[in-house]
Structure 1
Amino acid sequence: MDMCGIEDLMANTVLVQAKSDNAHNQKWRKNFSLPTISCTNDMLKKLEIEVYNLMPESAKTNQTEKNRFEFKLFCEKQCIGKDMFTKFCRAAEPKIRNAHALMDAIWNAEIANESEREDAARCVANSYLLKDAPYEIDIISENLKKVSASVILSEEVPVYDSIKEMLAEASPTKGGEEKNPSILTAIQANKPDLVVAHLSGVEKRFYFIKMLLEQCKQQVYPYLVEEVYPVYKSSEQFKTFLRWKSKEKEPVIEEDFFPFRLLGRGGFGEVYAYQVKATGKMYACKKIDKKKMKQKHASKVVMAEKITLEMVNSPFVVSLSYAYENKNHLNLVMTLMGAGDLKFHIYEKTGDKKRGISYERTKFYTAQITLGLDHLHAENILYRDMKPENVLLDDRGNVRIADLGLVCILGEGEKTSGRAGTVGFMAPEMLESKKYAYGVDWFALGCTIFEMIEGKGPFVSRGKNKRKMSVGATIEKTIHEEHTYKRTHADDDLLDIIDQLLEKDVNQRLAGDEKSAEPIKRHPYFSDMNWERLEAGLIPPPFVPDPNQVYAKDVSDIRLGSEAKGVVLTNEDKDFHKKFASGRVPIPWQYEMMETGLFQEVMERKPGSEKNSKSGGKQGKSKSSICALL
């Protein structure tokens, strides 16, 4: 074996060992500590300013909207904040405790699997909704409780018209006014009669149960936001949350990480595997050369990508966890997707396997990609580069959308123009220079599903050189010709969802130009999909990659970029770098603390056992035992 081969083997071996063994991180975990309680007043003032700048104008002068914005940010999206709010509610008076417990019980019913969901729903009804239930809930209108309990406890499949009739009956509160007169309006907005048309009797029943429980949540939520949250902000649990926020705001430096092997190269630098010393979590670090970025006048592009990555916090989109700078680079520390891209798996040839992947994997990946696009669209982000090459697999077999370099932020009801993306996945309206919106992403999703089952794109045409795509012919085929299947497929619903997504006319296309993925999620192809369980990460992937394989080019095969010569960085450049280096991104960083067990470990320490330094115990520069191998 030559020296390059030895280097590749060593780099891969060390990376695989780092991903599977975090024992060497124990000393860094012990050094991790929270700032003292004295930091909370200053942290609260900083958070109030930060939240004020983030919230919409309408919330700045409306206390109810302000509370709702804060509650969603700190008690729902940020998992440490959510945990602290839960602890507060569980220790509070019965009314608060019961309201929060009901929300938890409904959530458990929503994510329960088929064998458990009956018991979970009955638990909600028997514990909270019946007239003589052991836990009193007077926040929900009596009529809604009565109807919900009746549907849950009856084994018969309810009829939508009968539910409407029951809900239309008077449901006065103690004050004599309707608690929520818009229940019927809210339910009808989701077009349940269309949704249940293709469902079996059992699935139809559980759809109506979920629909009614959602309305129960809608009546409890304002109480938690408007009455409970202000009290929580004066609690010890909230002070603990502020200590974690203070830790979150500490500067991020190179010494917080162990660097591992080179994974690839981009336009402005390299991508390396990185490991956080304190938690052992593996990431991909995109190192952007400061001088090369300036040489290519790419500052705006780099900042736009960074801001977009910060905006999106979805388990189905590659997320940003840290942004920091060192002497020569701006660093984006992102989700490590170590099992290759979807294109690799579609075209991988092993034994007699044909190009393409199984129907089971196709449905699973399609569902996760759909949720990823849905989450992007919810932030008004038009992706424009949906293709298998930009869908990455992690070590567990879940997929995420990656490469947000071509995104476009749309205003409400706005459309854009101009070609962006990859020919063969571009929608006809884009190719014909028409105004377009979210429908182009749904079209590209159809192309991606087609490629998963056929092993080739639906509109790709080859020129005289059969190995190369003819761009002109592919564009013509996309605009004017219908896609055809070369293979025989037994799943009619699968073919139907592809056909509807590949409609040339966006107005006839499934989901059209809608932001929301609801029309796609309601398609018969997904009739057996529990979207809540999928989003919660409770559905096991049908394919788990080999943990001992490194799905990346050998280090020796990755060419390093040339140095940018003659580029001088000015004070203006340094100000940009400082603005870029915003540190930890709250939601993914807090999730890392939870996922790796460090949060629980710190919370279980005896008072006074922590190093109460202002810095919270900074790590030094020594290497791990694994790094010492090199």
Structure 2
Amino acid sequence: MLSESLKKNKYQACEEIGRGRFGVISRVFCPMTQSSFACKTIDKRLLSDPTDRECLENEPKIMTLLSPHSNIVQIYDMFETEDTVQLILDLCQPLTLYDLILQPDLSEPKAASYMQQLVLGLAHCHRFGIVHRDIKPDNIFFDSRGNLKIGDFGSATWLGELGTVDGLVGTPYYVAPEVVMGRPYNEKVDIWSAGVVLYVMLAGAPPFFGETAEEIFEAVLRGNLRFPSRIFRSVSADAKDLLRKMICRDVSRRFSAEQVLRHPWILNGGQTISMD
């Protein structure tokens, strides 16, 4: 249900297209521009944790700062009532990167294209001192033309004066080890997560796994990056080299977004014949 203030403006409510922890996402239509958008409605009554409330306040500010960028979901409007906050965003396709990863024919060139677009978006965030903190396939969307867009900035935050933040934020399979250890961390946690996304694209499974969140965290902390031959026999050496440099426990040696974009596998569009 759209708020009265939103109704009085330029949007008409259409069907619900998604549901999350704190609310729903609906399609809305703007008669003035003859365009459709996504409306993310957040129920403030569900935000009992102070951290969640802070994220609610930060999300529209961060998205406004980052907009427009071809690889980031754009925010167009925001409306607030006593109980809800409603964000008017790019309307993306119903399929996320998670859905595409489940398809068996994801080639290296296609994976390289997705990774380049993802890291271009991350580089833009990092230039503004913003760390996303929840990069995973479910938060990676596509517009009507097939362009990749990073979405869901509910966990994003600004890096502090020291260039670091803290807090156990993220999704177990994709979270960086320094986050799990409770140490202050920087924007390179997004690169670790993006590296795990790349691994999943190429292997169909995450590099670190377990039956529970605790077991997954333990595997992440061990950080034993392996390339099982039955899965990776047809994956190029360049792709594996990039994975090692993104999923690197030593933060000082882990690639930055700009370094990822300059890696041969990205520059060559995944077109490589070199094998281990």
TM over 0.5: yes
Residues paired across the two proteins, number: 260
Q: Is the 8 A contact 1:450 1:456 kept in 2?
A: yes
Q: For 2:49 and 2:252, locate their aligned partners in 1 and report how far apart those are by CA, in whole Å.
A: 40
Is 1:451 aligned with 2:200?
yes
1:345 aligns with: 100
1:418 aligns with: 167
1:498 aligns with: 243
Partner secondary structure for residue 271 of structure 1: strand
1:260 is displaced (CA, Å) by: 1.4
1:405 is displaced (CA, Å) by: 1.2
Partner secondary structure for residue 256 of structure 1: coil
1:477 aligns with: 219
Partner secondary structure for residue 301 of structure 1: helix
Is 1:403 aligned with 2:152?
yes
Q: Is the 8 A contact 1:253 1:326 kept in 2?
A: no
2:273 aligns with: none
Q: For 1:276 and 1:325, locate their aligned partners in 2 and report how far apart those are by CA, in whole Å.
A: 18
Q: 1:295 to 1:471 in 2, by over 3 A?
A: closer
1:268 is displaced (CA, Å) by: 3.9
Q: 1:386 to 1:300 in 2, by over 3 A?
A: closer
1:509 aligns with: 254
Q: For 1:310 and 1:293, locate their aligned partners in 2 and report how far apart those are by CA, in whole Å.
A: 24
Q: For 2:227 and 2:47, locate their aligned partners in 1 and report how far apart those are by CA, in whole Å.
A: 48
Q: For 2:264 and 2:34, locate their aligned partners in 1 and report how far apart those are by CA, in whole Å.
A: 42
1:435 aligns with: 184
Q: Deviations over 1:302-356 (max 9, x none)?
A: 22212112111122111210112468743210011123211111124xxxxx3x7
1:238 aligns with: none
Which residue, out of 15, 34, 38, partners 1:280?
A: 34
Corresponding letter in the other structure for 1:476: E
2:87 aligns with: 332
Q: Is the 8 A contact 1:275 1:283 kept in 2?
A: yes
Matches within 5 A, 1:487-566: 487=231, 488-511=233-256, 517-528=257-268
Q: For 1:389 and 1:273, locate their aligned partners in 2 and report how far apart those are by CA, in whole Å.
A: 19
Partner secondary structure for residue 493 of structure 1: helix
Greater Rg, structure 1 or structure 2?
Answer: 1
Q: Is the 8 A contact 2:202 2:235 kept in 1?
A: no
1:362 is displaced (CA, Å) by: 0.5
Partner secondary structure for residue 405 of structure 1: coil
1:522 is displaced (CA, Å) by: 1.3
Percent of residue pairs identical? 26
- CA RMSD in angstroms, aligned pairs only: 2.4
Corresponding letter in the other structure for 2:238: D
Q: Structure 2: give runs of 5+ residues left out of the alignment.
A: 270-276
Q: For 1:327 and 1:390, locate their aligned partners in 2 and report how far apart those are by CA, in whole Å.
A: 28
Q: For 2:192 and 2:49, locate their aligned partners in 1 and report how far apart those are by CA, in whole Å.
A: 33
Q: Is the 8 A contact 2:58 2:157 kept in 1?
A: no
Q: 1:295 to 1:525 in 2, by over 3 A?
A: closer
Corresponding letter in the other structure for 2:227: Y
Higher strand share: 2
1:451 is displaced (CA, Å) by: 0.2
Higher helix share: 1
Q: 1:262 to 1:432 in 2, by over 3 A?
A: same
Q: 1:478 to 1:301 in 2, by over 3 A?
A: closer
Partner secondary structure for residue 526 of structure 1: helix
Q: For 1:413 and 1:427, locate their aligned partners in 2 and report how far apart those are by CA, in whole Å.
A: 19
Q: For 2:163 and 2:80, locate their aligned partners in 1 and report how far apart those are by CA, in whole Å.
A: 36
Which residue, out of 304, 312, 321, partners 2:76?
A: 321
Q: Structure 1: give runs of 5+ residues left out of the alignment.
A: 1-250, 349-353, 462-468, 512-516, 530-630
Q: Is the 8 A contact 2:55 2:155 kept in 1?
A: no
1:413 is displaced (CA, Å) by: 4.0
Q: Deviations over 1:261-284 (max 9, x none)?
A: 111223443211012111112110
Q: Deviations over 1:395-450 (max 9, x none)?
A: 22211111111112113542222211011211122222222111211111110000
TM-score by length of 1: 0.39
1:375 aligns with: 124
Q: For 2:139 and 2:130, locate their aligned partners in 1 and report how far apart those are by CA, in whole Å.
A: 16
Q: Is the 8 A contact 1:293 1:299 kept in 2?
A: no
1:172 aligns with: none
Corresponding letter in the other structure for 1:489: S
Matches within 5 A, 1:28-177: none
1:286 is displaced (CA, Å) by: 1.4
Partner secondary structure for residue 95 of structure 2: coil
